[in-house]
Amino acid sequence: MDKKLKHAIKKSAKAMYKALPILLGVILLISLANTLIPKSIYSSLFSKNIFLDSIIGSALGSILAGNPITSYILGGEFLNQGISLVAVTAFIVAWVTVGIVQLPAEIMLLGKKFAITRNITAFVFSTIVAIITVVIVGLI
């Protein structure tokens, strides 16, 4: 094996070892938030206003970050509770792309400027994508 490759593997392994406690903490914090907040509370937060619901959905998804598989299950439950499609769409997109809870770990691994810019951009686009998606679905 090439000397540079060995050095790169060692350096990567060391970085992952240092990041492991933070990543574990983030995963535990996300799990705790998802467990402690009852799903029925969400339906009382939405107003049936397309713009306000998309912002609220994006905000909730940003705070309660998770994985895509879980988001589809939650999205289905939210729709069954009468939450608007725009709110659910914004929630799902933000849930997967924005992460307030894991922001400290992302800052440590990727840098403060990049992490904050990425999260703000993802939040804005989660709202825009939700509105566009609902408009397109309404046309079909």
Helices (H), 1-140: 3-36, 50-63, 68-80, 85-97, 103-110, 112-139
pLDDT tens column, 40-90: 776 677 888 889 999 999 998 898 877 777 778 778 878 887 888 999 999
**Domains of the chain: total:** 1
Q: Whole-structure pTM over 0.85, yes or no?
A: no
- The span from the CA of 17 to the CA of 32, in Å, is 23
Write out the residue range of the structural domain in which residue 119 sits: 3-139
Residue 33 confidence (pLDDT): 67
List of residues 6+ apart from 96 with CB closer than 8 A: 61, 65, 66, 67, 68, 71
Residue 130 clears pLDDT 90, i.e. is over it: yes
- The span from the CA of 136 to the CA of 131, in Å, is 9
